[in-house]
Amino acid sequence: MFKLKENNTTVSTELLAGLTTFLTMVYIVIVNPIILADAGVPIDQVFMATIISAVVGTLWMALMANYPIAIAPGMGLNAYFTYAVVVASDGKIDYMTAFSAVFVAGLVFVVLSLTPFREKLITAIPQNLKLAITAGIGLFIAFIGMRMSHIVVGSEANLVGLGDLSSPEVLLTLFGLGVTILLMARNVYGAIFIGMVVTSIAAMVTGQLKIAKVIAMPHLPEGILVWNPIAAMGDVISYGLYGVVFSFVLVTLFDTTGTMIGVARQAGLMKDGQLPRVRSALLADSVGTTVGAMFGTSPTSAFVESSSGVAVGGRTGLTTVTVAVLFMVASFFGPLVASLSSVAAITSPALIIVGSLMIGAVKQIEWDDFGEAFPAFLVILTMPLTSSIATGIALGFISYPIIKIAQGKARMVHPLLYIFAILFVIQLIVLPH
């Protein structure tokens, strides 16, 4: 089924690769509930929804596409869901309404994945804007990590300022960050997860963490949250969440496609520059996003941490089946995750470090070309400053064609980009955002 011989791998290698990938990405089952809890979603609900979406998306990737690429709720999009959509609405939009937007985005994503339009959309967006989106999200989530742990705090003079570095919470965060950085520097697989474990132990020793229970039967406190496409679309229309849906689709589109191609290239799975079974692979995150929204989590995407499994020999879907099974096992540790979620210092280092990895995309931006550089700069600058991925994307997509027209290069801009620019202008001026 997985064509192990054809891919020059063995069962034992695939199982080890699956374990490695799981250890490098399992932090998401702790980080995701903490972030979405700020939107009011029960931690137990997000915990199980995270696992369900990861299992569904990853198994689809394994069984339908036979690739060693794992799927789970994406970093950055979970922060956007919480802080830019729910919290920023000042009570006008609750998490149920926001999940309607995610559900609709998932359905749109499924349709796009079944047609050639997804590939055309990827081609239409300038490479420098794609890189800027990744970098901007990196700054955004790193800033959230520093804010959650109170390394930075609100300031009347400068909006933000340095927090009290002598406070127990900040000291624990800096300790966890230091441990994780050392592990990352030594190329230790699962460095982020191991760093969280060490920080948790330190939190217990210092009295900042108390664990009453570790294991319990998996459960969903609120059951299925969204299931009716018509009702979900009604919420999107009523609250003007078109820009939110578009942002979810756009960011997931680039994130997943870029990760998929990068990991596949690393594994030697590309054939003549093309990814075989690409449509089946692209459906994995689409299905995962739709199912995840039904149970209560933000959009899923392909995890770049899959490259760690590929590095130890993972080449087929057996690697990702292993990941999915391990996520199922993790579902029994809900009470432990709930306890860990009460201490921001345990997860903040993960956000900061993932942000640092994402900001690396700036090195590939063409900074010598003003027409490419300034729109990218706007995207990167405005995402963390406005706490909105959508606003960053909008300003980048509006400024890009305007500058190209001024440079006499209007024909170099894909027609779809002009359409996006007009839609974003309407969104920023007319619709809530």
| Domain residue ranges in the chain | 11-131+149-358
Residue 373 to residue 350: CA distance in whole angstroms: 29
Name the residue with tokens 């993972």. Answer: 314
- Please give the biggest Cα pair distance in the chain: 66
Task: Say how many residues make up the chain.
Answer: 433
Q: What is the pTM of this model?
A: 0.79
**Does residue 408 come out as left (phi exceeding 0), alpha (psi in the -120 to 50 range) or beta?**
left
Residues 46 and 78 sit within 8 Å (Cβ to Cβ): no
Name the residue with tokens 């990196």. Answer: 138
Cα→Cα distances 340→2, 141, 211, 397, 426, Å: 37, 19, 8, 39, 42
Cα→Cα distances 155→147, 152, 158, 159, Å: 12, 9, 6, 5
pLDDT in tens, the chain (433 residues): 898 988 889 999 999 889 888 987 888 998 899 999 999 999 999 999 999 999 999 999 999 999 999 999 988 789 889 988 999 888 899 999 999 999 999 999 899 888 887 767 767 788 898 888 888 888 888 888 898 889 998 877 778 888 899 999 999 999 999 999 999 999 887 788 889 889 999 999 999 998 888 899 998 999 999 999 999 999 999 998 988 898 888 777 767 776 787 677 778 887 776 678 878 888 998 999 999 999 999 999 888 788 878 877 899 999 999 999 999 999 999 998 888 877 889 888 888 888 888 888 899 999 999 999 999 999 999 988 887 777 888 899 999 999 999 999 999 999 988 988 888 888 777 655 4
